[in-house]
Structure 1
């Protein structure tokens, strides 16, 4: 059942990404008039293998009712949780090589309050996000900028050595329209860093607690009975930055990825 639901979600997200009309949705190989799933946001997160552990964390944080409200969830995923655990374990092992493994059960109630950073008021997806984006305040007070941006290539595409994607790898060579990508920009310090140049100019770059983080989505624009779901993927930079997956709560630094 989980695999079937996941297939439906991927199909929905793919079709939305590629700019089909509302009447053109294909779900499970059949034409449908809507892309809305007949389940709550919590049920959706619980049934996707990429987010089932995240649903558990929302519930432990006492936020199940909140995410089933009139909201948008920008959900971390299992890779976000795994990176968090790897960093915590590596920090512990440096201090004590015989330290017991840290699991999700060891995430404290204080940390779980930070799950509010992934909950945004209102329903924001491709058809409701303004052309110039929208700044929102997440449930925990974090400021977030959500935008829909046309992109002609994937960060994993071959590049020409000068910061431009190789012509043969651009979407316009394969598609009638260049697709929109949903981006989420987390403000982490006193100031917004709107460009990659501004972020890279900070000392220690991504590891600087003042450095904003910007992500594209793994899947996006999933409409549930109550809200909208996007699932975080990675930083939208270039192929050399694929190591940069979100760490739950922005925990740790890149040095913590290794012992």
Structure 2
């Protein structure tokens, strides 16, 4: 229960932070992106893979896509909830710490080359969905989808807490990994932690490429779930 309270507090903090950044981004005419929102002009004249290549935030992600041989899948008629390099780096740190602990050797390293290709493909496919999931088709209610790894997810909009600066609350896009079905609402106090759904915010959303749709997950996303 304590872990759940910490997660809930963290989610509230992310929502508030995203709201502040969204206001800042909206007030800057030169900034084309809205954090947690959508692009002023969501269309880009390039494939999803090529768009990822334009941003250093995805350098390591592209290495993993190439390693998994999934460039064509990424460029298919799909929606990709892309993890950033921060999420991938955090995964490598966790794997390295576990390896060092298991082998009792702090000199051991865990690199991208150590990631098993079948596991990598399965994880990337858990972020891929057939067809185009765009903000205009979403609402504050859960909309259920099945990823290309055959896992259940919901995609929904959540209103950010407003400190009273504006009358209209920003609606942030969330990818929700379901665990044993949708959480009941309201959530009982004794609901098992292992069954609670995992919420991750899209820090940039609704990028519509020539091949599909791209949403960028928050840097805090736990890659491999």
Answer yes or no: same fold by TM over 0.5. Answer: yes
> Cα offset for 1:85?
0.8
SS at match of 2:53: helix
Aligned match of 2:156 in 135, 147, 150?
Answer: 147
Q: Give the alignment of 1:90-239 within 5 angstroms.
A: 90-95=97-102, 96-114=104-122, 115-130=124-139, 132-153=141-162, 170=163, 173-187=164-178, 189-193=179-183, 197=187, 201-202=191-192, 205=193, 208=194, 210-233=195-218
Distance 1:81 1:196 in 2: 33
Is contact 1:119-1:139 (8 Å) kept? yes
- Distance verdict in 2 for CA 1:105–1:193, change over 3 Å: same
Number of residue-to-residue matches in the alignment: 195
Structure 1 unmatched ranges of 5 or more: 1-6, 26-33, 154-169, 235-244, 251-259
Distance 1:176 1:44 in 2: 34
CA RMSD between the two structures: 2.8
Give the structure 1 partner of residue 37 of structure 2.
17
Distance 1:88 1:196 in 2: 35
Structure 2 unmatched ranges of 5 or more: 1-24
Q: Does 1:44 align with 2:29?
A: no
SS at match of 2:200: strand
- Distance verdict in 2 for CA 1:110–1:195, change over 3 Å: farther
Give the structure 2 partner of residue 88 of structure 1.
95
TM-score for the superposition, normalised by structure 2: 0.75
Is contact 1:199-1:211 (8 Å) kept? no
TM-score for the superposition, normalised by structure 1: 0.66
